[in-house]
Structure 1
């Protein structure tokens, strides 16, 4: 079973020192080691670190990108629904 994170847990991981986590479709990804490899540049990932990046992700990527990188970057899921 994958690890459960709260949105507050993810929000506390927004820089290189604490690790950089993002949420995409309620799944949590650790992009700390991927920042420098990101084809769109590190600045984009740094801007969404600690946040739900679902909207931004799907604007520029398709399902195949998620399938390619999920095994390496996915570390769990959000255990609570985001409050609107």
Structure 2
């Protein structure tokens, strides 16, 4: 049921046309339909789309936010890729 994504897969989803994904920890979230609901506004989500937002997410949010919204936004997990 859970899909796996590479960092490149996520990077390809950085606009509303292709969908907007972010990474938090090792999970991938589709934030495309969450833009208007985000209390901090859509601008910051658009800026982070296609990227690893872990540092920024935890700077401004607690675990309760992920518990509240994560279930409906999570679409999969980030796969590990070999580093050469």
Gaps of 5+ in 2: none
Question: Are residues 53 and 45 of structure 1, via their aligned partners in 2, closer, same or farther at CA, if it must alter by over 3 Å?
Answer: same
Moved over 4 A (4+): none
Report the counterpart of residue 70 of structure 1 in structure 2.
70
Aligned residues: 83
Question: Are residues 82 and 39 of structure 1, via their aligned partners in 2, closer, same or farther at CA, if it must alter by over 3 Å?
Answer: farther
TM-aligned CA deviation for residue 80 of structure 1: 1.4
TM-aligned CA deviation for residue 81 of structure 1: 5.1
User: Alignment RMSD, CA only?
Assistant: 1.3
TM-score (norm 2): 0.94
Gaps of 5+ in 1: none
